[in-house]
Amino acid sequence: MQQQSIYTPDMPWEKLTEFPGEGEVKRLRDQETGKGQTILVRLSAGGQIRPHAHTTGVQHYVLEGEYESEGKIYGAGTYRLLPGHENVADISTQNGVTILMIYDPVG
């Protein structure tokens, strides 16, 4: 792995395609399949990520706003670890949210 530095405000937001939902993404670290990934995900007010599953653990850190999942609210400053091979419940936001997501390498 090589050292990398990115000034994220210069990056354009792209359509979210990593999982089912309506949102935008900035790909910070997108290595070969299975080698790990780091992304910023932004959902606008009323946005949603539909239920899905991951093959590896995923870390969430809420940077701005808040989202709801399984009846709980996760606001700015909240960290979650979602283990691999488990279903991810619906994620929705009333006012918008930006989440840093770090996907562990498959191994």
Give me 52's structure tokens: 């899905």
Q: What is the CA radius of gyration of the chain?
A: 13
- pTM, full prediction: 0.90
Identify the structural domains of the chain with CATH numbers, from first to last: 36-107 (2.60.120.10)
DSSP string, 72-98: EEEETT-EEEE-TTSEEPPEE-SS-EE
Could you report the per-residue pLDDT of 47-68, keeping only the tens digit for each? Answer: 999 988 888 899 999 999 999 9
Query: Which residues are registered as beta bridge partners of 37?
Result: 30, 103
Q: What is the mean pLDDT of residues 23-45?
A: 87
Report how far Cα 107 is from the mean position of its chain's Cα atoms: 20
Q: What is the mean pLDDT of residues 93-101?
A: 97
